[in-house]
Every structure is written in C-alpha cells, then in structure tokens.
Structure 1
Amino acid sequence: MTHEQFVTLTATDGHTFRAYTSAPDGAEPVDAIVLLHEIFGINKYMRTMAREFAEAGYLAIVPDLFARQEKDVELAYTGADFDHAIELRDNLDFALVLEDIAAAIGWTHAGERSTGRTGALGYCLGGGLAFMAARELDLDCAVSYYGVGVQDRIGLAEHIDIPVLFHFAEHDHYCPEPARELIRQAFRGRRNTEMYLYPGMGHAFATYERDSFDSLATKLAWERTMAFLDAYLASRSTVIR
C-alpha cells in the first residue's frame, strides 16, 4: 500500500509550487527518489511512476518544473497539448529549474520518512535534467531515461562524481548515435557509470500510453534501475566504494 498527496515546496527565491508524493506503507525511513517529468508535467504517467517507486520501497516526489510559467500542467501526448508542451520546454529557465529540483531534494532530506539518501531519475526532458542535477545538486545518484540535451552540456560530465545510469533508445532522434558516443567517451572508465542501449526502441519507450511504449524494454530498464539504486543508495548498498 502507498500513500499519495500533493505538497507545497518553496525554492530559495521564494517561489512556491506543488509536488506529487508517494510513500510506502510503514513508518521506517526509506531512500528517496526525485522524479523529473517529461514535457507533459505531472500527468497520469508521472503519478503512476511515483506509486511504482513507492511500491518498490522508495519515497518518491515529482516536482512541478513548469510552475514558474504555468501551474498545474498536465498534458496529453498529441495535438495541441504536445505543441503546448514544446512551448513550455523551450521557455524553461534551467537555472531556476535546478533551484526547484533542489527544493524537492531538500524536502526529502528534511522528511521523517527519509534516510537522507536521495537519487534523481528523469524521463526525456527530466532525463537531461537528472544529468544536470548530478553535477549541480546534493544527490547520491542519478538515472537518465533517454535524456534530452545531455550531449549539449557534455562538459558537465567531468565534474560529476556520483553514480549515473543512462538508458538509451537506439532510434532516439533526440539522442542519436553520434550523441551517444559523445556521452560514452565523456564517461569512459568511470566505474560508477552504467549505460544501456535498447535495440529497436524509440524515444520514450518506457512511457505508458505512448505509441513508442515497449513493455519488454520497459521491464528490462526497470530491473536495471532497481539494481542500480540498490547498489548506490547507501541504506540498501552492498557495494564498497
């Protein structure tokens, strides 16, 4: 059983915004995951993923990263909603978005249910933000599902010293093979970095209800993600660093 609610977060500049949270049953402290949404806001998919992580034993929080432009965004994947999602993405102030992600991380650190260990995991836009957050914010690990824009900020890689997991789709036009090779080269030799390529898959293969969704690839990516989180969040870790 899990427990869901919306909470209000406050960034360091006073900006207030909502976040969706899901917690596992019980009272013991657990590791936390900050889930970073696609360009569609805190929609049904992101709420579902928060519950899935809570069912797996994590405290999950999904901050509203569009709230500085428009509050309570929840968009579908086609038509006018898709066009609006692109507009919101293109008008993001990434420095301020990182401030908002930091507020979500701070919420996990302050909560009674948290061990104080927090990872970030993002999809699409959120996958790129997870990469940025791995460099800029107080995290213990990061997971990027088909992250957008990683190759454009590859210089951050040399300053990232936490474990990072990348899931790549073979036919992802946002991150084609030359971009993936650039990322591989930037992280080559890092023992705490994992990269997986999903042959035949397109962008957003793990997003339910999208045309690109593939259940087998999603299951495999989930299993790899769980193994990575088990290894690198301290309260579950058996890895000697």
Structure 2
Amino acid sequence: MAEITIKATDGSGAFFAYVARPKATPAGAVVVIQEIFGVSASMRAITDAVADQGFIGICPDLFWRLEPRVSLTDKTQSEWDKAFALLNAFDQDKGVDDLKATLAAARTLEGGNGKAGTIGFCLGGRMAALMAIRSDADCNVSYYGVMLDALAGELRSVGHPLLMHIAENDKFVPKEAQGTVLAAAMPNPQVEAHVYPGVDHAFARVDGQHWDGRAAAIANGRTAAFLARWLA
C-alpha cells in the first residue's frame, strides 16, 4: 500500500491518493470515490479489496481544497456534523475535475493496462454517475448515490457503462427520487440498476451502522463481474 500525489488541473495545488496494488499485472485501475467521511479506514479497506480482486485501486482525497486528509467514521454526532459541513462546502464540479486527473494518473500507473473505471459510495456514488456522464472512464459503479434524481436528464444519455446499487429504504434518497432515477436510467442500455430490498443507506460499509452482509455480498459480486468485464 502506498500514496501518490496528483496535480490539480486548474493549477491550484496537489492532493494525495491512497493506492493498493494487485498481485498480478498488467491490470485495470479503479478510482475509488470517497463517502462524505473522507479517505477513511473504510475507503482504504475498499481500495485494498479492489486490489485483492486483481485491479489497481486508487482513492483520491476529494476534500483537500477544504481540509486535507479528512478521515471520519459514522460513530459520533460530531463526525456526522463535520462530514455534512464538508459536503455542503464541497465543489462537485472541482471534484469531477480532480477525479478526471486521478483517472488520467491511474491509466499511467506502473503495472496498469491503460483501462480505468470508478466506483463510488454515497457522495462518491453521485460522483461516479457524474463521471459516467462527463468523463471517458471505461466503466463506473455507484453505490447508494445521493442526489441522483437531479441528474435524471443526463442519465438518459450516459455513454459509458454505469452500474447502480440502490438501497430500497435509503434514508437519504426517498422512494420518489429512486423512481425518478430508475425511470430515467433503465431505458439506457449503458445503465444497469439494482434495488436492494429492506436495506438502508451504506449497506455495504463493513463497519457501518447499516451494514447488511447479504445485500453487500450480492452487490459486491455484481460489481466484481462488472469491473472484470470492462477493465480486464
């Protein structure tokens, strides 16, 4: 496990990214997009798991413009308060630019095969959908993305493969919003969406409050097959 430094494309500075490498190369790269808790222990564990599946995992620090190296949990109210403050201050357009810079860096990493995709969770789930819309990522995976209903018009014309995992009882994504997303996305052959019955937001965060082993195993299995299809 290591870190690399990536220069922002607007010349405003640089940010770190956590990197985990697979045993065998050449391999495709997966940009792991953080939740509102930063490059946390959970995100690092997911990046490690991506490497275990045979890909180069790279998790960039998207909050660096606000506060570098944020690493929070969902265990205390103070951490939730800080996480939402960061979310509200976060410039998503700049975030997409930083993800594009990460994607470009990922494609040139030693041991890479030139292919790169994204996988994001919560805020990262929205950012992964934005990358499917705005970038040339080879594939994108969105876990319980928030505010996706606001992207409904753009989801209809997504041109790159996008896999979406939606929690039926997501406290941050009402059923009406889920319906809007599904109605927009499902006619698009580039988009694959699955709804997981009875689970809440962040059901795939191993150490989280709403972890659901069964739903996580099904979602993660679909993700592994999806990544292997597009990044092998």
TM-score in terms of structure 2 length: 0.95
Aligned partner of 1:7 in structure 2 is 4
Residues 131-168 of structure 1, C-alpha deviation per residue, up to 9 Å, x if partnerless? Answer: 01111112011110000111112222133111111101
Does 1:231 find its partner at 2:229? yes
Does 1:186 find its partner at 2:177? no
Moved more, 159-168 or 64-73: 159-168
Higher strand share: 1
CA contact (8 A) 1:11 1:102 kept: no
Aligned partner of 1:215 in structure 2 is 213
SS in 2 for 1:159: coil
Aligned partner of 2:103 in structure 1 is 105
Q: Return the offset for 1:191.
A: 2.6
Aligned equivalent of 1:69, options 56, 61, 66: 66
Q: How does 1:10-159 map to 2 (within 5 A)?
A: 10-14=7-11, 15-26=13-24, 28-77=25-74, 78-159=76-157
Amino acid in the other structure paired with 2:151: R
Aligned Cα root-mean-square deviation (Å): 1.2
Q: Return the offset for 1:196.
A: 0.9
Query: C-alpha separation between the residues in 1 aligned to 2:157 and 2:197?
Result: 30
Query: C-alpha separation between the residues in 2 aligned to 1:76 and 1:113?
Result: 32
Moved more, 98-107 or 190-199: 190-199
Aligned equivalent of 1:199, options 189, 194, 197: 197
For structure 1, the residue ranges without an aligned partner over 5 or more in a row are: 236-241
Query: C-alpha separation between the residues in 1 aligned to 2:80 and 2:179?
Result: 29
SS in 2 for 1:204: coil
Aligned length: 230
SS in 2 for 1:12: coil
Does 1:162 find its partner at 2:157? no
Amino acid in the other structure paired with 1:178: E
Q: Return the offset for 1:72.
A: 0.8
TM-score in terms of structure 1 length: 0.92
Q: Return the offset for 1:39.
A: 0.4
For structure 2, the residue ranges without an aligned partner over 5 or more in a row are: none
